[in-house]
């Protein structure tokens, strides 16, 4: 928070600024776990978690505000206690009901962000930067999909013009909670895990920002996961489309929905490391003079491959696909990869493991008759797989690239289970056995010389 305040105070002298904050590390997990404990009636654990929540924020408040002034320290403590007791009230409600109503969950888990914004705003004020904590639910208007809401941009623009613009013009920095919003009639929502990035991009779009800076704990968007590959490089520039593909296919640096609101207005995004603010980071833009070839490789291991096949020609493959996709859409299940190629009309798709139960339930209920009458073979699930994705706009129209990628993987003696490349040629998705995923990632990174290329472009 101190580092954040330093960056804010420096920038605030140059131009109007709005700040979006996330909860402190692991706080959202703690809040969610507390509500789960409350649902099953585990009062003792709920108490323990509440104490932990209070202790962590009291400690943060002490360390930040004790040296500033007695009054701001007292004000910080008051806010921490108020917000923790607000969470306690909802947790008690869940204990009593034995149920977690989605809107109450959303209201409760945004308290992590509200604690952060209160503390940071007090600290900014105490160090001479006028600031005001703003609840995201007052400015971001969303639909009513609790837990994974989408913004309504026009209504959000109006709210922001009323609530944020005057603050910014008067030299006060709004410190807005990320992650949360509310429906037009005021029911609290959240934007999905990791959604603070998305909050920031929504606000950047409606405020017509010149730039959006996203501060994380890594140097920017990398050519691969540094835990898997030793010679990774930070990409100096990527396009919105590349960044979105990378996020969608497992790179943790950005929430996948972050870039959508910015595309139309071409607002550039910087992904930077708050622990090394002087490093350049990665700039995400709509278009630049892209080098040829791949730019990065990502992987995902928490996935499951679902395969389906008609048992005979009575049921057409196309109809089966339609029914399956319809079921998945109804269940709100995201499909990571979808492929179909055979005369037998079989097809398979990849989903996140945490969506698997939901996906199967939806498929089995939508296709119960076909399954019961034997028109459809039993649905097969393989959880022992991983997804590797090679991404780059420069791969478009480049003969031989897919061949090189597959050869590199086969040289490692890794078998490819399924492949998908859309006609945009932006991403090649490759499904392999889980235990060979990391090897395949290293092989592709080396074959495409990603570490080298990126290093060259940084200089």
Tell me: does residue 19 bind ligand ASP (CB under 6 A): no
CB nearer to ligand ASP: give 114 or 122: 114
Whole-angstrom distance, CA of residue 270 vs CA of residue 340:
38
110-169 residues in contact with ligand ASP (CB under 6 A) are 112
Q: Which residue is nearest to ligand ASP (CB)?
A: 196
Give the closest residue to 323 by CA, choosing from 376, 383, 380: 376
Contact between 134 and 163 (Cβ < 8 Å)? yes
Tell me: does residue 201 bind Mg ion (CB under 5 A): no
- DSSP one-letter string for 109-174: HTHHHHHHHHHHHHHHHHTT--EEEE-HHHH-EE-S-TTS--B-HHHHHHHHHHHTHHHHHTTPEE
CB nearer to ligand ASP: give 178 or 392: 178
Interacting residue with ligand ASP among 5, 17, 23, 308 (CB under 6 A) = 23
Contact between 118 and 79 (Cβ < 8 Å)? yes
187-246 residues in contact with ligand ASP (CB under 6 A) are 193-196
Contact between 226 and 232 (Cβ < 8 Å)? yes
Interacting residue with ligand ASP among 16, 178, 188, 331 (CB under 6 A) = 178
> What is the nearest approach in angstroms of ligand ASP to the Cβ of residue 401?
34
**How many residues belong to the site for ligand ASP (CB under 6 A)?**
10
Strands 296-300 and 282-285: unpaired
CB nearer to Mg ion: give 27 or 131: 27
Interacting residue with Mg ion among 22, 116, 177, 258 (CB under 5 A) = 22
> What is the nearest approach in angstroms of ligand ASP to the Cβ of residue 196?
3
| Site track for Mg ion across 360-399, x = CB under 5 A | ----------------------------------------
Q: Within 10 Å of residue 223's Cβ, how many Cβ atoms?
A: 27
Whole-angstrom distance, CA of residue 418 vs CA of residue 438:
17
First to last CA, the chain: 31
CB nearer to ligand ASP: give 244 or 401: 244
**How many residues belong to the site for Mg ion (CB under 5 A)?**
1
**H or E stretch covering 406:** helix 401-411
Calculate ∠ Cα 230-237-396, nearest 5°: 90
Tell me: does residue 117 bind Mg ion (CB under 5 A): no
Tell me: does residue 28 bind ligand ASP (CB under 6 A): yes
User: Which one of the spans 19-27, 53-61, 242-250, 315-323 is the region binding Mg ion (CB under 5 A)?
Assistant: 19-27
Whole-angstrom distance, CA of residue 154 vs CA of residue 202:
11
Contact between 417 and 321 (Cβ < 8 Å)? no
User: Which one of the spans 20-28, 350-358, 383-391, 439-447 is the region binding ligand ASP (CB under 6 A)?
Assistant: 20-28
Q: List CB contacts of 416: < 8 A, sequence separation 6 or more.
A: 406, 409, 410, 430, 431, 432
Choose from Mg ion, ligand ASP, none: what does 195 bind? Cβ within 5-8 Å by kind.
Answer: ligand ASP
CA 84 from chain centre, in angstroms, equals 26
| Site track for ligand ASP across 284-323, x = CB under 6 A | ----------------------------------------
CB nearer to ligand ASP: give 123 or 198: 198
CB nearer to ligand ASP: give 21 or 389: 21
Tell me: does residue 216 bind Mg ion (CB under 5 A): no
Give the closest residue to 46 by CA, choosing from 100, 116, 82, 117: 100
CB nearer to ligand ASP: give 272 or 442: 272
> What is the nearest approach in angstroms of Mg ion to the Cβ of residue 277?
18
Contact between 224 and 438 (Cβ < 8 Å)? no
Tell me: does residue 347 bind ligand ASP (CB under 6 A): no
Q: Token pair for residue 433?
A: 């056995």
Choose from ligand ASP, Mg ion, none: what does 390 bind? Cβ within 5-8 Å by kind.
Answer: none
Judged by the rule CB under 6 A, the positions of this chain that interact with ligand ASP are: 22-23, 28, 112, 178-179, 193-196
Judged by the rule CB under 5 A, the positions of this chain that interact with Mg ion are: 22
């Amino acid at each position: 928070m101190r580092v954040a305040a330093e960056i804010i105070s420096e920038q605030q002298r140059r131009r109007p600024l709005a700040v979006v904050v996330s909860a402190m590390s692991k706080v959202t997990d703690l809040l969610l776990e507390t509500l789960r404990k409350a649902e099953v009636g585990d009062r003792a654990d709920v108490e323990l978690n509440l104490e932990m929540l209070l202790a962590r924020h009291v400690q943060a408040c002490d360390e930040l505000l004790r040296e500033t002034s007695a009054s701001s320290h007292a004000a910080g403590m008051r806010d921490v206690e108020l917000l923790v007791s607000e969470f306690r009230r909802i947790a008690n409600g869940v204990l009593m009901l034995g149920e977690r109503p989605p809107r109450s969950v959303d209201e409760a888990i945004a308290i992590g962000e509200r604690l952060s914004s209160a503390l940071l705003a007090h600290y900014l004020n105490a160090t001479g930067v006028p600031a005001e904590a703003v609840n995201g639910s007052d400015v971001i208007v969303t639909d009513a999909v609790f837990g994974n809401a989408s913004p309504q941009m026009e209504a959000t623009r109006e709210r922001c013009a009323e609530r944020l613009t005057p603050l910014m013009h008067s030299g006060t920095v709004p410190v807005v909670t990320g992650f949360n919003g509310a429906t037009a009639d005021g029911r609290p929502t959240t934007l999905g895990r990791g959604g603070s990035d998305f909050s920031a991009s929504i606000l950047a779009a409606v405020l017509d920002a010149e730039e959006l800076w996203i501060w994380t704990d890594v140097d920017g968007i990398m050519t691969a996961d540094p835990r898997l590959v030793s010679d990774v490089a930070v990409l100096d520039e990527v396009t919105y489309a590349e960044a979105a593909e990378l996020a969608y296919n497992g790179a943790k640096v950005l929430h996948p929905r972050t870039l959508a609101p910015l595309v139309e207005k071409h607002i550039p995004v910087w992904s930077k490391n708050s622990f090394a603010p002087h490093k350049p980071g990665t700039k995400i833009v709509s278009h630049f003079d892209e080098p040829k070839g791949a730019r990065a490789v990502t992987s995902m291991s928490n996935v499951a491959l679902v395969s389906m096949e008609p048992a005979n020609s009575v049921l057409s493959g196309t109809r089966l696909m339609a029914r399956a996709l319809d079921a998945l859409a109804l269940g709100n299940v995201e499909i990571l990869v979808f492929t179909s190629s055979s005369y037998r009309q079989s097809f398979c798709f990849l989903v996140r493991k945490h969506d698997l139960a939901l996906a199967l339930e939806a498929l089995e209920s939508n296709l119960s008759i076909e399954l019961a009458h034997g028109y459809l073979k039993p649905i097969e699930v393989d959880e022992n797989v991983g997804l590797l994705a090679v991404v780059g706009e420069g791969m478009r129209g480049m003969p031989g690239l897919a061949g090189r990628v597959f050869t590199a993987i086969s040289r490692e003696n890794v078998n490819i289970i399924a492949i998908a490349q859309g006609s945009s040629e932006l991403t090649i998705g490759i499904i392999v056995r889980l235990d060979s995923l990391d090897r395949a990632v290293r092989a592709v990174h080396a074959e495409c010389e990603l570490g080298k290329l990126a290093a060259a472009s940084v200089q």
